[in-house]
């Protein structure tokens, strides 16, 4: 059976989140982001959009569950913008084909039928391992 949202583990406490964040190695994108005033990042202009796109270029984004195949255009656009996308999904996901098509950088199968703790640890280890992968590097952001 597929887990429901009521089966999900409790959210981490603020202290637990701080501990995890403190142990992450900052990426170049993260380091640049810290130096840019928020109002520039959020500015509704061509310049603001260009800045956001520049920051995205070269960033590694991990995405949990690719969704249905009709969302392929999202991954194509991310590739056009220079993002390195890594998809973590079930081993039978259609998203695997996008590696060969050079749309995404990597596909990592996750057994979502395992218990919640096992899924969490599989995903965490997979994301951590990307830092040592010269093809993608450390993760700059995670999406679902």
Task: Give the predicted TM-score (pTM) of the model.
Answer: 0.74
Q: Using one digit for the tens of pLDDT, what is the confidence trace for 28-37?
A: 566 777 788 8
Q: How many CA atoms lie within 13 A of 144 on its CB side?
A: 1
Instruction: Please report, for the chain, the start and end positions of each structural domain, with discontinuous segments joined by +.
Output: 13-143
Q: Using one digit for the tens of pLDDT, what is the confidence trace for 96-121?
A: 999 999 999 999 999 999 999 999 99
> Does the domain made of 13-143 have the CATH classification 3.40.640.10?
no
Nearest CA to 63 out of 54, 81, 75 is that of: 75
């Amino acid at each position: 059976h597929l887990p429901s949202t009521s089966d999900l583990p409790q959210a981490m406490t603020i202290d637990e989140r701080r501990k995890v964040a403190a142990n992450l190695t900052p990426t170049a994108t993260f380091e640049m982001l810290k130096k840019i005033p928020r109002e520039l990042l959020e500015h509704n202009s061509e310049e603001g959009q260009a800045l956001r796109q520049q920051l995205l270029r070269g960033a590694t984004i991990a995405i949990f569950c690719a969704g249905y195949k009709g969302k392929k255009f999202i991954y194509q656009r991310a590739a056009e913008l220079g993002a390195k996308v890594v998809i973590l999904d079930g081993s039978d996901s259609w998203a695997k084909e996008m590696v060969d098509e050079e749309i995404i950088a990597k596909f990592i199968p996750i057994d979502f039928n395992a218990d919640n703790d096992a899924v969490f640890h599989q995903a965490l280890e997979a994301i951590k391992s990307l830092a040592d992968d010269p093809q993608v590097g450390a993760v700059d952001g995670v999406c679902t």
